[in-house]
Amino acid sequence: MKDLRKHYTRGELLEENVPKCPFELFTIWFEEAISCPEIIEPNAMVLTTVNNMSAPDARIVLLKDLRDEEFVFYTNYQSHKGQQLEKNPNCTALLPWINLERQIIIRGSASKVSENESEAYFDSRPRSSKIGAWASTQSRNISSRQELEKQLKEFEIKFANIEPSKPPHWGGMAIAPLEFEFWQGRPNRMHDRLLYEKSSEGWILSRLQP
Ligand SMILES: Cc1cc2nc3c(=O)[nH]c(=O)nc-3n(C[C@H](O)[C@H](O)[C@H](O)COP(=O)(O)O)c2cc1C
């Protein structure tokens, strides 16, 4: 591990070249991440929440929408993350585009999206994913893999002749950002870090030391 070392030379991030609005910069970087063949899941982000012991928790989720200045992902509301966000909506989402020598950290607050929005997205999913949402009580213990397969089979039979509707415990969460940090790797560990903070006058831009 000690000998693993990369030099970051792919780009720079300077105040004079960035838009005033962080959503615009997010969109530019997101499109570049989609176009980067080495990034296999450009919309994968590490979502950090706070558990009921005030300790941080983290996992990857897929970003599915950016609309009305909110970032939307979908999950089981009864999962650990779902319950944690219900109690404490503060969270961060980190997009680790290491192949571009970049990361974006979004700090904000999450709330459930409307049932209509969740249903519209659920209906667009492949049938197997829809059945999977019914078959897994996400984050709960299960005795074995076989038991999970059995649960799946039961729902495949149940939905054999009908299209699965959205389970009531499944849906979208929308993160409303309060801060964005854009990070671009630079040589000699002198990386660029630009911070956008939300204020009543709009977004305030500042630079952090690497
Ligand atoms: C690439 C990738 C994408 C994932 N996307 C999602 C997702 O969009 N929604 C989700 O609930 N879990 C997703 N997961 C699974 C979560 O990381 C996690 O295991 C699960 O949501 C349970 O988390 P929790 O117990 O902290 O609630 C994904 C995992 C990976 C590795």
* C-alpha span between 173 and 74 (Å, rounded): 6
CA-based nearest residue to 179, from 191, 161, 194: 194
Tell me if 58 CB under 6 Å of ligand 1. Answer: no
Tell me if 49 CB under 6 Å of ligand 1. Answer: no
Q: Which of 50, 52, 59 to mutate to test the pocket of ligand 1 (most atoms within 8 A of CB)?
A: 59
Q: 127-135 and 145-158 are packed helices; what angle lies between their axes, rounded to 10 degrees?
A: 120
User: If you take atom 12 of ligand 1, which residue's CA is the nearest one?
Assistant: 61
Q: Hey, what long-range contacts does 127-133 have (CB within 8 A, 24 or more apart)?
A: 127/163, 127/164, 130/159, 130/163, 130/164, 130/166, 131/155, 131/156, 131/159, 131/164, 133/76, 133/164, 133/166, 133/167, 133/170
**Residue range 126-177, pLDDT digits in tens:** 999 999 999 999 999 999 999 999 999 999 999 999 999 999 999 999 999 9
Tell me if 190 CB under 6 Å of ligand 1. Answer: no
Q: Can you give the pLDDT at residue 194?
A: 98
CA-based nearest residue to 136, from 159, 101, 170: 170
Among the listed residues 5, 189, 193, 207, the single catalytic one is: 189
Q: Is the pTM of this model over 0.85?
A: yes
Tell me if 51 CB under 6 Å of ligand 1. Answer: no
The ligand 1 atom at the shortest distance from the C-alpha of residue 57 is: 26
CATH 2.130.10.10 fits 15-124+173-208, yes or no: no
CA-based nearest residue to 45, from 105, 126, 127: 105
Would you kindly state where each structural domain of the chain is located, as residue ranges? 15-124+173-208
CA-based nearest residue to 173, from 68, 40, 77: 77
Structure tokens belonging to residue 66: 């950016």
Q: Which of 62, 87, 173 to mutate to test the pocket of ligand 1 (most atoms within 8 A of CB)?
A: 62
Q: What is the pLDDT along the chain (210 residues), one digit of tens a residue?
A: 999 999 999 999 999 999 999 999 999 999 999 999 999 999 999 999 999 999 999 999 999 999 999 999 999 999 999 999 999 999 999 999 999 999 999 999 999 999 999 999 999 999 999 999 999 999 999 999 999 999 999 999 999 999 999 999 999 999 999 999 999 999 999 999 999 999 999 999 999 999
Contacts of 162 (CB under 8 A, 6+ apart): none
Strands 44-50 and 202-208: unpaired
